[in-house]
Amino acid sequence: MNTPDTQPEDCVMCHCSGTKRNNIQNLFNQGMDMAAISRWTGALSGCGGCEWDIAAFLKELDEQRNEAQ
Ligand code: FES
């Protein structure tokens, strides 16, 4: 099983919207939460199959941010 840690930056995390991992990371860095990222990109607005992966990725980014502070 792939975890977000092993995936390339340009891999598509939401296939319904074509939203890439680095796009989600950029929006997170601009202060967007999952709902805002969904509205902005269309991620999570299709089948919903990406929800767990994106939630785990955002949690990971949040933890990295907290560790850096
Ligand atoms: S893969 Fe993201 S909504 Fe379907």
Share of the chain above pLDDT 90, in %: 83
Domain 11-68 homologous superfamily, CATH:
BFD-like [2Fe-2S]-binding domain (1.10.10.1100)
Per mean pLDDT, which range of 6-10, 49-53, 55-59 is the poorest?
Answer: 6-10
The answer to whether the pTM exceeds 0.75 is yes
Q: Quick check: 15 and 41 in contact, CB under 8 A?
A: no
**Closest Cα to atom 2 of ligand 1:** 14
Q: What pLDDT shows up at residue 59?
A: 97
**Mean pLDDT, to the nearest integer, of 45-69?**
95
Sketch the domain layout of the chain as residue ranges. 11-68
Check if 37 has its Cβ closer than 6 Å to any atom of ligand 1. no
Asked whether residue 11 carries a pLDDT value surpassing 70, the answer given is: yes
CA of 66 relative to ligand 1 center, distance in Å: 28
**Mean pLDDT, to the nearest integer, of 13-29?**
97
Its sign, for the CA torsion 33, 5, 2, 25, is positive
